[in-house]
Chain A
Amino acid sequence: MLPRLVVLLAALLGLRLRSCAHGTELPRPPSVWFEAEFFHHVLHWTPIPNQSESTYYEVELLVYGVEPWKSIPSCSQTLMLSCDLTMVTLDLYHNDGYRAKVRAVDGNQHSNWTSTSTRFSKDEVNLTVGSVKLEMHNGVILGKIQPPRPKMAPEGNTYESIFPHFREYEIAIRKVPEHYKFTNKKVKQENFSFPAPGELGEFCVKVKPSVGSRTNKGIWSEEECIVLSQHYFTMTNLSIFFTFVLLLCGPLAYLLTLQLYMRQRGKLPTVLVFKKPSPFSLINQLPSSETQDTIHPLDEEAFSKVSPELRNSELHGSTDSGFGSAKPSLQTEEPQFLLPVPHPQAGGTLGKGAPLELESSCNSGSSNSTDSGICLQEPSLSLGTGPNWEQQVGSNSQGQDDSGIGLVQNSEMQPGDVQGGSALGHVSPLEPEVTEEEDPAMAAFQGYLKQTRDTEEEAAKAGCLEEESSSTDGLGPQFRTCLDAEEGRPPPALAKGYLKQDPPEMTLDPSGAPAGQWNQLTEEWSLLSLTSGGDLGISDWSFAHDLGPLDCVAAPGSLLGSFDSDLVTLPLISSLHSNE
């Protein structure tokens, strides 16, 4: 009896245990919950303790208030602990919620259901932000928040439509090395801006959304960083910089170009410089001359001093003022040219005016010439050397005849004596001492007289011609010969005028003026006008000086006045060589 009962009891207990094991074979999942974001509803559950590889979980969903539980087969996969139920919970935002339950199944065994502890409703959706974009504008950081845009959301179910009011965003800003501070900013729209802290570096921003009228939780977005760098090269800065550069460099460049242009324009060719003879050119030619503006007649004494020096000097070249003599003998002789000194007593006006004009005209004419520089001019020629020159040039008939220095006189002067201007340079009216004696006569022969074709001179010319012929050189000192003929002695230097040294092509009229000039040597200067028609530019005064004895100069009552010693030292004066 008893053993039978024990066996029966054991069998019953065994059956019961088995049944219990069946029922409690699989434990139920401990917990089931929803983790939901905007249209991303995921059901999670914890696994059962003794989970095998073949354990899978069944999920059922219930619309709260609607009877049947709906099974979700897509979640029934082995070892799956979560399941996306978005597609079956699309009405979450319009109904009163869902309920879900999960149970473990392993083979023939299944566990009890474990349902979500709460009714899955719209309140359980955690709010998130789609994206945050940061921009930098003029020192202000602008941010734009993009709400989530899930793909599973049905048409028309946007974040803004589900939560139309009281959308808020909390913004946290930090500088890169630092951490987030709790002083966050809350904005009530999807745009926000905050001034750049003014520091360079990287700034990071994160946003947490929320709805004012709801209790939904918000989740911080990911960090969005922006780097603030010093924009020196902004468009405005660059444009301002370039405008300033243009403003500064424009006028400078303009001025530079203008100056360059003016310089080039201002450079006058040397040939034309003569028109404005500087007072210094004569000085250069007569450097030792103290009174450069005045030409003093050769002093007999001074000349006598100089003459020995100059006798044997062969002064040629550029320093020669043109007192070149064709005859070599002449060269050895003393410079015979005598410059009528512009006597201050006589012809004061001349004296005054002369120097200036002398200089001016002489410079222009003698700049390129071999003239000694002694330039005799008339003060009346103050108007300009140009016209004077022109006058001389114009008077070809007379100028050409003159072989020596021609005196250009005004009409004021004795026009009769001076036939127009000398062909070449102005001849400053030098007032030799003779002029003092015979003013009227001298006035006519101030300085170098232009050798005119006066009849009274012709006679002298005739005389002179004979001797002139002796002078081989066409540019010979015809004057000298004439003088010699007349006076029978070496004519004073005064008598020696300037013989124009005509170029080879030029034909000097030997019988012309020079002869006539020297007829009056005793009392007056015989001026040899330099007749070189084409040598106006240069005071091509070929002074044919009588290279005879200097006693001409020393002759008393010589026409020549005191010759400035300084002048004497001038090579030009001394070198009465014919220019060749």
Chain B
Amino acid sequence: MKAQRVSLWLLGAILLLCSVHARGLRRCLISMDMHQIEETFQEIKRAIQAKDTFQNVTILSTSEFLHSIKPLDVCCVTKSLLEFYVDRVFKDHQEVNPQILRKISSIANSFLYMQKALQQCQEQRLCHCGQEATNATRIIHDNYNQLEVRSAAIKSLGELDLFLAWIGKNHQGTSTA
């Protein structure tokens, strides 16, 4: 009898953990080819990053910010950052060079697509924003506000590769590192 009880308890605990973990595993994945976006960015990286004169300041890379986000908050943070870029960075940046502008536009369009994909996850209530996710979003906005708008925008554009790498890492399942 004792053995049976113990086994039942163990089974229940395992099931509970699995459910909890499954909830975390049940992430809202963006099935998108990030590689294409990354390649596009690489083409304009030099032009954009060269304009970044405030080299000792960062917006996205604060204290290993992106690396410290938990898997449960990935969906929320991703959604927030996508809104940040679409609503603030791409609008604030004034690009003169048409070729660079074209590429920035393509990246922006990709971000819009990703936003729509995440919106479906939010309707399914899979994209719950916790406290840590909310705090993380606020920090980014604060960093962005400390700089001049044009410099901030340029800097944020220059850090797109970090954002794209982070998305690829968290939203591609086990296929990416």
Contact = CB atoms under 8 A, between A and B. Distances in A.
A64 B45 contact: no
Interface stretch (B14-22, B49-57, B91-99, B125-133): B49-57
Nearest to A215: B42
A121 interface: yes
Nearest to B63: A65
Contacts of A66: 56
Interface of B is mostly: helix
A: interface residue count bin: 20 to 34
B35 A212 contact: yes
A118 to B, nearest CB: 4
Interface string A192-219: 0000000000000000000011110000
B49 A117 contact: yes
A338 B56 CA distance: 152
Given A118-B46, A123-B42, A214-B38, A64 B176 contact: no
A317 B159 CA distance: 134
Interface of A is mostly: loop
Contact of A117 (B42, B50, B62): B50
A213 B176 contact: yes
- Residue from B35, B60, B63, B168 with most neighbouring chain A CB atoms (10 Å): B35
B146 to A, nearest CB: 13
B56 A96 contact: no
Contacts of B42: 123, 215
Given A117-B50, A164-B177, A215 B56 contact: no
B176 A99 contact: no
A115 interface: yes
Interface in A94-144: 95-96, 99, 115, 117-119, 121, 123
A186 to B, nearest CB: 16
B62 A65 contact: yes
A62 interface: yes
B39 A215 contact: yes
Nearest to B168: A213
Contact of A67 (B56, B168, B177): B56
A119 B46 CA distance: 8
Interface string B158-171: 11011000001000
A64 B61 contact: yes
A69 interface: yes
Contacts of A65: 56-58, 61-63
A405 to B, nearest CB: 123
Contacts of B58: 64-65, 96
B45 A118 contact: yes
A115 B63 CA distance: 23
28 contacts: A64-B55, A65-B56, A65-B61, A65-B63, A66-B56, A95-B61, A95-B64, A96-B61, A96-B162, A99-B55, A115-B55, A117-B50, A118-B45, A118-B46, A118-B49, A118-B50, A119-B49, A119-B52, A119-B158, A121-B161, A123-B42, A165-B176, A165-B177, A212-B35, A213-B176, A215-B35, A215-B39, A215-B42
Identify the 8 closest CB pairs spanning chains A and B, nearest first: A65-B58, A117-B50, A96-B61, A65-B61, A118-B49, A99-B55, A215-B42, A118-B46
Interface of A: 62, 64-67, 69, 95-96, 99, 115, 117-119, 121, 123, 164-165, 212-215
